[in-house]
Structure 1
Amino acid sequence: MKTSRRTMAGGRPGAAISIMIAIIATAFAVPVASATNPGAVPFSGVGAQDTRTVTVAGITDFHGHVERGEANAAAFALADAHNPGNVVPVSAGDLVGGSPYESAFEQDRPTLAMARAWGLTVSAMGNHELDRGVRDFNRRIADPANGIDWLCANVAAANKAKGGRLSHVRDYVIREVNGKRVAFVGALTDALGAVATPAITRDADLGESAVHAINRVADALSDGDESNGEADAVVALLHADASAAEGLEPGEALDRNVDLVYTGHSHAVKRGRTAAGAPVIEAGSFGRQMAVQDLVITGTGRRAKVDVRDVDLGNGMVENANAAGVYDLAGLEGAHVGQAAWRSAGAGETAPVVTRTRDIYRTASARARRVGSRVVGTVARDAYFGKVPSHGVESALGMLVADAERDAVRRAFYAGERIPVVGFSNDGSLRTRSLDANGDGRITVREVDSMMALQFKVAKRVLTGRQLKAVLAQQWRSHGGRLAVNRLGVSSNVSYRYVAGGGAPLVTGERRADAGHVSIVDLRIDGRAIDDDDLVIAASNSFLLQGGDRYTAFRAGADYVELDEGYGQALVDYLGRHPKIDIAAPVTGTVLV
């Protein structure tokens, strides 16, 4: 019979005082124990040797934002000053992928170099680590030279075996810190199919649910059997929204052998609990936040007791990020980097991790300026190609990108003379708020690549008129009896109207029994009415045309083909042929009034 550990969780008073004690102890090499944080500094006093503290500092969804790397380095150094030598930096996934230009143009080498500088050696595998496919993940991201143990327990066992598709992924890893064995177990969102192409979903092959996989591993690590691994504490790194870890239903709940859960994927700041009482913490995104917790561990193995306490990074330099134990890192870079909380006590020097991280960013930024400053197009004065749409219509940016994808397919296949071509773009494939980031009217390589930073190709698929209407109707979905709309970018040669349930016009946000059923009517392409049996070529990025972002109606089409051209290059080419581009009119997707 398996025995579960008893997990405790609570706030930790007096943390700022503990930090200063730890800094002083480091400077003078005097072992000191804080009464409010037993074992924060290794010691061997009578009756205390069985209780030790291990600090975990977690980020999630960093997405290659190396411009914030210095602040993260400073926060990791603050955590180390709190508990010198006993900190484990971790990531809950999406460390890379969809990255800003400074990291993306060098295939995220600057981000991976920063992770090495920080000492980050443990990460859950996120969906964006797979953006370029499983083979690329194995070769580029999971290269052992990067020094990161990538974790995903719900990948099928055959895929993690030697010779399997994801042979560099493990269920868990154990770090021995301050005399305690802390296991980190990783898992990936069960909804991978909604955020990855079918090819990636097939190759990743999630063999079980994330919660089931974490419980399976945590139970084995807590059963008293040293032959299958044994841990004194278990931390789950789950690349899924915090709600996935908070499930209460049988089969959906994490059990008592999980002591702390870091989640990600939704880019939110959240705090909750598992059904068994362990903290569930989601620490935002893009390097803007960090979670820092102490595991105060008494005893060993299945008899260990783990008290999870939030760490106050103290000194008034970091603020709570609207969730206990999660800290806003704004202000930790630049002018604040030399402050005493992370300087070597008495030495007056910035922590080496901060200096190394700063140097990595400066080198990457200089290279990015040289390569990315080339102007590839211009926009008309006062034109705004941003993601903020007018009420009831898609954004001008989405339409522009859709026009560019359409143009690329027409040129590649000489299409459009007999069969009309429609372009599409999805909001998730556009990573910045606007195309002309600095408003100077000139569009550079960097601005395009920062906005279109994912590794998608230009693709095309043949649809019938009926299938095209089904795609357009999937922009409207029912949530709690109300109609919610998530607009696609649709090329400017398209117009249509929509009604609810074939009846009266529908206003977005209106509550109605048939709100989930929207019909597309009066569909026209290049001014020509499209019947249900007519053929249409859909042009977009490879992710969307394979049913990404839950636009599954695209999969009903035929003759799917990818071009050997990135979806961002299509926009570069389009801008080059259309100088001083302005907002297209009329706007598509006409709303019935």
Structure 2
Amino acid sequence: MPATSQPYPRRRRAYRILTAGAALATVGALGAAIPADAHDSGHGHHGKPRPSRYQDVQLLSFNDLHGNLEPPAGSSGRVTELQADGTTKTIDAGGVEYLATHLREARKGNAYSVTAAGGDMVGASPLISGLFHDEPTIEALNKLDLDVTSVGNHEFDEGAKELARLQNGGCHPTAGCYTDKKFKGADFPYLAANVLDEKTNKPILKPYYVWKKKDVKIGFIGVTLEDTPGVVSAEGVKGLKFKDEVETINKYAKELQKQGVKSIVALIHEGGLPASGSYNYNCDASGAGSGVSGPIVDIAKNISPSVDALVTGHTHAAYVCTVPDPAGNPRMVTSAASFGRLYTDTTLTYDRRTGDIARTSVKSANHVVTRTVPKAADMTSLIGRWNTLAAPIGNRAIGYISADVPSTGTESPMGDLIADAQLAYGRTLDAETDLALMNPGGVRAGLTYATTGAEGDGVVTYAEGFTVQPFANTVNLQNFTGAQLIQVLKEQVSGSNASAPKILQPSGNLAYTLDLTKTGADRVVTDSIKLNGVAIDPAATYRVATNSFLAGGGDGFTTLGLGTGDLVGTDDLTALEQYMTANSSASSPLAPPTPNRITIVQ
């Protein structure tokens, strides 16, 4: 599939911003090796100013927005900031009305500014976006003047055809048009260099994009993680192949160089695990790459030195690090957390003589999208329009809680609540249902007791439930032997989950010990696994409720894909709603489950 080097038509606008407040950031730099007078213009033979050799290009980036147009609630809407005395404080952050203001303020005074994203702009979105198949988020990104983004795994939640619609526009094939105007699609390119059509063996979308400003040009290559089929439903990736990230980026870096594009940025929807939970920690305190681990480190170390910077995502983490390239030279690798809480401001110094980035001068910082700045009026209007359409559905009360139900922790109260709901629902389908298991990645948020809306404290609305479970997975029942059930629990900490465990959230009648002092599958203590206080019998048969993603073997739980006696029920959000309605009321709200089903030894 030929790639274009022509910029997408932009709709840049002039904005007047009252104030943006002080940006809180940490700066990573690769040194300074550019002559002091390198930016002086000088004059040609006829007295006309000539461009300096070096031109600073501002790269603004963010990742994993997941359709969070409104400020995220609870811990999902906060960042942790490291203070000078070593203490930390939390800051409320996020919301596209504030993100727009911050980005527009950051662009001021930067004639050469490009905005890029690292994937998962949509998918697992709150109701205001998800209810409308994420058209509102694409509209918001257009208004943000996003220039380019890679695809992420969540861009495939509804399959390649729906992703193509988000790119190209048109009404949804079953839901139709939501307004009297036809959906125009994204006016920025989605890049999918390593996502191939199985029939044509070509990328399903453009593999790269070249941003141009006068005589400056920078190429962007976009990829998602190779393991996307392991974290997306089988239907979402049907007919697609996902290739190695490094091989793909190196292939297209060579192609760009042949076209004369020497400055290259990789947009990679794969990430790392930072050494600190504070967005502004010093990632390189103990040397290049010392403050981050995980898949992105090996990827960064093997991508061609011709690539000048990496914008990453997927792990929802915040870091600004340098990681050595194959030639041993430091290269900037960044990630801006998630949900629009941070953005990254990177300065790329372009060398007009070579057409490349002067890597020694690259500097970068993560900035908080604070909520103390004025809201962008056009985003407020956008949110208002879509909320008006969503209100009849979203404002309906589905239950009551007595306190926050968090979604954080190895075992979370929210995960336990969902598992309990699925067990209860499973028993309405088949009274012999024994237990339920919920994947942690499917728990997208917790429930917050305090409300900013009109419904009142403790009321759980359909919109809040949708934010927790936005995937529309079905609740499936399957039969497993006790030996298979034990194997499922061991797969939480072995195989593809060995280095990054995925701890299933159990229904209240399942208990076991997780010994983190051990390694691999041994971390699950077999003789501690009990159902209703009785040890699991390897030869017995158990009826297990999971969502359809897990029932297909997702998240590395291959044994869950081997069940028998399949019975498919309603969607998981309906199961949660039914449970909340049956077990809570205004006078008797539901208390958050105590996360004590898994005994953790550390």
Flag whether TM exceeds 0.5 (same fold).
Answer: yes
Count of equivalent residues: 496
Pick from 114, 125, 130: which aligns with 1:104? Answer: 130
How is 1:341-420 mapped onto 2 (pairs within 5 angstroms)?
354-379=376-401, 382=402, 385-387=405-407, 394-412=411-429, 415-417=430-432, 420=433
The answer on 1:253 being equivalent to 2:302 is yes
Matching residue's letter, 1:287? G
Quick one: distance in 1 between partners of 2:56 and 2:528? 66
Aligned equivalent of 1:469? 486
Aligned equivalent of 1:191? 227
Aligned equivalent of 1:426? 439
Quick one: distance in 1 between partners of 2:138 and 2:348? 27
The answer on 1:233 being equivalent to 2:263 is yes
Root-mean-square deviation (CA, aligned residues, Å) is 3.7
1:92-145: CA deviations, max 9, x gaps? 101111222332223222211111111113110001111222332223455363
Is contact 1:462–1:557 with CA below 8 Å preserved after alignment? yes
1:278-334: CA deviations, max 9, x gaps? 32111221111112223332337xx4231258899xxxxxxxxxxx42222214633
Can you give the 5+ residue segments of structure 2 that lack an aligned partner in the other structure? 1-28, 42-46, 71-94, 170-183, 273-293
Quick one: distance in 1 between partners of 2:296 and 2:400? 47
The answer on 1:326 being equivalent to 2:366 is yes
The answer on 1:442 being equivalent to 2:459 is yes
1:179-220: CA deviations, max 9, x gaps? 2222110111123244223444553311x3101111110112
Quick one: distance in 2 between partners of 1:528 and 1:248? 46
Give the Å deviation of 1:363: 2.8
3-state DSSP of counterpart to 2:334 = strand
Matching residue's letter, 2:394? G
Aligned equivalent of 2:89? none
Matching residue's letter, 1:544? L
Give the Å deviation of 1:571: 0.6
Quick one: distance in 1 between partners of 2:565 and 2:502? 27
Matching residue's letter, 2:442? S
The answer on 1:307 being equivalent to 2:337 is no
Matching residue's letter, 1:425? M
3-state DSSP of counterpart to 1:399 = helix
3-state DSSP of counterpart to 2:538 = coil
3-state DSSP of counterpart to 1:387 = coil
Aligned equivalent of 2:185? 145
Aligned equivalent of 1:79? 106
Bigger-Rg structure (1/2)? 1
Give the Å deviation of 1:45: 4.7
Change (3 A) 1:476 1:361: same
Aligned equivalent of 2:121? 95
The answer on 1:548 being equivalent to 2:530 is no
Matching residue's letter, 2:336? A
Change (3 A) 1:119 1:583: closer
Quick one: distance in 2 between partners of 1:38 and 1:455? 58
Matching residue's letter, 2:578? D
Pick from 313, 322, 331: which aligns with 1:272? Answer: 322
Give the Å deviation of 1:253: 0.9
3-state DSSP of counterpart to 1:247 = helix
Aligned equivalent of 1:210? 245
Is contact 1:246–1:272 with CA below 8 Å preserved after alignment? no
Pick from 135, 139, 156: which aligns with 2:196? Answer: 156
The answer on 1:263 being equivalent to 2:280 is no
Aligned equivalent of 2:96? 69
TM-score, length of structure 2 as denominator length: 0.72
Aligned equivalent of 1:3? none
Matching residue's letter, 1:543? F
Pick from 317, 328, 346: which aligns with 1:293? Answer: 346
Quick one: distance in 2 between partners of 1:452 and 1:76? 30
1:226-261: CA deviations, max 9, x gaps? xxx331411110111155454389xx6111211121
Change (3 A) 1:155 1:586: closer
How is 1:506-521 mapped onto 2 (pairs within 5 angstroms)?
508-510=515-517, 512=518, 516=522, 518-521=524-527
Quick one: distance in 2 between partners of 1:484 and 1:153? 26
Can you give the 5+ residue segments of structure 1 that lack an aligned partner in the other structure? 1-8, 14-33, 224-228, 313-323, 338-353, 499-506
Is contact 1:478–1:484 with CA below 8 Å preserved after alignment? no
Matching residue's letter, 1:203? G
Quick one: distance in 2 between partners of 1:551 and 1:309? 44
Aligned-residue identity in percent: 24
Quick one: distance in 1 between partners of 2:119 and 2:520? 38
3-state DSSP of counterpart to 1:89 = strand
